[in-house]
Amino acid sequence: MNRFDFLRPASVAEAVAAAAEPGSAYLAAGTNLLDLMKIGASRPERLIDISRLPGLDRIEWLADGSVRIGAMVRNADLAYDARLAKAFPSVAEALLSGASAQLRNAATVGGNLMQRTRCAYLQDTASACNRRVPGSGCDALYGENRLHAVLGWSENCIAIHPSDFCVPLVALDAVVEVEGADGRREIVVDDLHRLPGATPEKETALAPGELIVGLRLPAAAAAFSANSRYLKLRERTSYAFAVVSAMAALRIEDGTISEARLALGAIAAKPWRVREAEAALLGVTPSVEAFARAAEIALAEARPSGDNAFKIELARRITVRALTLALEGTPAVMPALPASPFSTDPGASHVA
Amino acid sequence: MSLSISLTINRQSRTVTLDDPRVTLLDLLREHLYLTGTKKGCDRGQCGACTVLVDGRRINSCLSLAASLDGAEITTIEGLAVGEALHPVQAAFIACDGFQCGYCTPGQIMSAVGLIAEGRAGSDPERIRELMSGNLCRCGAYQGITEAVLEAQKTMTAEKGRDAA
Amino acid sequence: MSPETNPSHAPRYGSNMGQPLTRRDGLLKVTGRATYAADNHPPGMLYAVTAVSKIARGRVTSLDVAAAKAHSGVVEVMTPANRPPLAHDPDEKMPPFGFRVEVLQNDRVRYVNQPIALVIAQTLEAATEGAMLLDPQYDAQDARVERADGELYDPPAIGVGAPPGAAYGDIDAGLARAAHLVEAEYFTPAQYHNAMEPHAVVAEWDGDRVMLDMPNQALALSCASYAAYFGIPAENVTIRSPFLGGGFGSKAILNGPQILAILAARMLGRPVKLALTRSQMYGPVGHRGATWQTLRIGTDGDGQLTGLHHRAIAATSSFDDFLEPAANASLPLYASPAILVEHKGLRLDTGTPGPMRAPGEASGSAALEVAMDEAAEACGMDPLDFRLKNYAETEPGTGKPFSSKALRACYAEGAKRFGWSRRPLEAGQMRDEKGFLVGWGMGTAVFHCPHFPAEARATLRADGTALVETAGADMGQGAWTALAQIAAEALGLDPQQVELHSGLSTLPDGGIAGGSGHTASAGLALNNASKDAIARLTDLATGNPQSPLFGAGNIGVIARNGRLHRRDDETRSQSYAEILAGAGQPEVVGTAKAARDPSVGAAHALYSHGAVFAEVKIDPDLGQIRTTRLVGAFAAGRIINPRLVRSQYFGGMIWGASFALHEEAVTDRRTGRIMNADLAEYHVPVNADVPSLDAILIPEDDPYINPIGVKGVGEIGITGTVGAIANAVWHATGKRLRRFPIRIEDVIG
Q: Output the CA torsion sign for C723, C728, C734, C740.
A: negative
Report the C-alpha gap between A178 and A186 in whole angstroms. 6
Judge whether residue C3 has pLDDT over 50. Answer: no
Rg of chain C's alpha carbons, rounded to an integer? 27
Q: pLDDT tens digit string along B94-117?
A: 999 999 999 999 999 999 999 999
In a domain, A187, yes or no: no
Q: What is the CATH number of the domain that holds B16?
A: 3.10.20.30
Amino acid at A311: K
Q: Collect all residues with Cβ–Cβ distance below 8 Å to C498 and sequence separation of at least 6.
A: C465, C466, C467, C468, C484, C487, C488, C491
Tell me which chain A residues have a C-beta less than 8 angstroms from the C-beta of C621: 317, 320-321, 346, 349-352
In a domain, A153, yes or no: no
Inter-chain residue contact B130 with A238, CB threshold 8 Å:
yes
Residues C594, C455 contacting (CB under 8 angstroms): yes
State pLDDT tens for residues C105-146: 999 999 999 999 999 999 999 999 999 999 999 999 999 999
CATH assignment of the domain containing B116: 1.10.150.120
| Model confidence, pTM | 0.97
Q: Are residues B159 and B103 in the same domain?
A: yes
Query: For residue A310, which phi and psi values (nearest 5 degrees)?
Result: -60, -25
Full domain range(s) for residue A33:
5-52
Q: Which of B27, B62, B79 is the last residue of a domain?
A: B79
Q: What is the pLDDT of residues C63-110, one digit of tens each?
A: 999 999 999 999 999 999 999 999 999 999 988 888 999 999 999 999
A72 is a domain residue: no
Active site amino acids of C: 715
Confidence category of residue C406, pLDDT binned at 50, 70, 90: very high
Instruction: Please check whether residue A271 lies inside any domain of the structure.
Output: yes
CB distance from B40 to chain C under 8 Å? Answer: yes
Going by the DSSP 8-state scheme, the letter that residue A248 receives in this structure is E
Minimum distance, in Å, between the CA of residue A156 and any CA atom of chain C: 18
Chains touching chain A at 3 or more Cβ pairs under 8 angstroms? B, C
* % of residues, chain C, pLDDT over 90: 96
Specify whether C48 is located in the same domain as C167. Answer: no
Give how many domains chain B has, as a whole number.
2
Inside any domain, residue C352: yes
The reported pLDDT for the residue numbered A12 is: 97
- Per-residue pLDDT, averaged over C184-207, amounts to 98
Q: Please indicate whether, in this complex, the C-beta atoms of B133 and A35 are within 8 angstroms of each other.
A: no
Same domain, C360 and C445: no
Count of the separate structural domains present in chain A: 2
Mapping DSSP onto H, E and C, the string for A53-106 reads CCCCCCEEECCCCCEEEECCCEHHHHHCCHHHHHHCHHHHHHHHCCCCHHHHHH
- What is the complex's ipTM, to 2 decimals? 0.98
Do residue C573 and residue C694 come from a single domain? no
Neighbours of chain C (3+ CB pairs under 8 A): A, B
Looking at residue A328, its amino acid is: E
* Digit-coded pLDDT (tens) for B138-154: 999 999 999 999 999 99
Q: How far is CA A285 from each of CA A246, A288, A329, rounded to the nearest angstrom?
A: 21, 10, 15
CA distance C231 to C305: 55
Domain end (from B79, B97, B119): B79
Q: Is the residue at A125 inside a domain?
A: no
Residues C2 and B162: their CA atoms lie apart, in Å, by 60
Confirm whether A229 is domain-assigned: yes
Q: How far apart, in whole angstroms, are the C-alpha atoms of residue C534 and residue C564?
A: 9
Supply the pLDDT for residue A347.
65
Is residue A71 domain-resident?
A: no
- Cβ distance of A349 and C621 shorter than 8 Å: yes
- pLDDT tens digits, chain A, 352 residues: what are they? 999 999 999 999 999 999 999 999 999 999 999 999 999 999 999 999 999 999 999 999 999 999 999 999 999 999 999 999 999 999 999 999 999 999 999 999 999 999 999 999 999 999 999 999 999 999 999 999 999 999 999 999 999 999 999 999 999 999 999 999 999 999 999 999 999 999 999 999 999 999 999 999 999 999 999 999 999 999 999 999 999 999 999 999 999 999 999 999 999 999 999 999 999 999 999 999 999 999 999 999 999 999 999 999 999 999 999 999 999 999 999 999 999 999 977 764 443 3
Last residue of a domain, which of C281, C300, C325? C281
CATH number for position A39? 3.30.43.10
Total residue count of chain C as it appears in this document: 749
The per-residue DSSP string of C348-407 comes to -SS------SSTTHHHHHHHHHHHHHHHHHHHT--HHHHHHHTB-SB-TTT-PBBS---H
Show which of C228, C260, C281 is a domain's final residue: C281
Extract the residue ranges of chain B whose pLDDT is less than 50.
none
Instruction: Please report the pLDDT score of residue B164 as a whole number.
Output: 78
Gyration radius from chain A CA atoms? 20
Q: How many domains does chain C have?
A: 4
Of the residues A52, A73, A89, which one is the last residue of a structural domain? A52
Say if residue C722 is in the same domain as residue C638.
yes
Decide if C625 is inside a domain. Answer: yes
Q: What is the mean pLDDT of chain C?
A: 96
Q: Which residues contact C1 (CB under 8 A, 6 or more apart)?
A: none
Say yes or no: C102 and C68 in one domain. yes
C651 contacts in B (CB within 8 Å)?
100, 139-141
Confidence bin at C14 (pLDDT 50/70/90): very low
Residues C664 and C560 in one domain: no
CA B139 to chain centre: 19
Please report the pLDDT score of residue C17 as a whole number. 77
Decide if C709 is inside a domain.
yes
Q: Within this chain, do residues B24 and B68 fall inside the same structural domain, yes or no?
A: yes
Cβ contacts of C661 on chain A, cutoff 8 Å: 236
**Distance between CA atoms of residues C698 and A139, nearest Å:** 53
| Domain assignment of residue C518, given as a range | 453-595
Q: What length is written for chain B?
A: 165
Q: Are residues B67 and B32 in the same domain?
A: yes
pLDDT for res C555: 85
pLDDT digits (tens, 9 = 90+) for C217-259: 999 999 999 999 999 999 999 999 999 999 999 999 899 999 9
pLDDT the model gives residue B1:
64
Are C25 and C41 members of one domain? no
C170 shares a domain with C158: yes
Pair B10, B55 in one domain: yes
What single-letter amino acid sits at B84? Answer: E
Assess whether pLDDT exceeds 50 at residue C298.
Answer: yes
At C427-454, the pLDDT tens digits run 999 999 999 999 999 999 999 999 999 9
- Based on DSSP, count helices (H) and strands (E) in chain C, helices before strands: 17, 28
Residue A291 lies in a domain: yes
User: Is residue A215 within 8 Å of residue A95, measured between CB atoms?
Assistant: no
Let me know whether B94 and B70 are in one domain. Answer: no
Q: Which of B79, B114, B147 is the last residue of a domain?
A: B79
Q: Domain holding A278: CATH number? A: 3.30.390.50
Least confident of A338-347, C511-520, C703-712: A338-347
Domain boundary among C255, C281, C307: C281
The boundaries of the domain holding residue B152 are 88-164
Q: Which residues, numbered 251 to 270 in chain C, qualify as contacts with chain B under a Cβ-Cβ cut-off of 8 Å?
A: none
Residues C67 and C121 placed together within one structural domain of the fold = yes
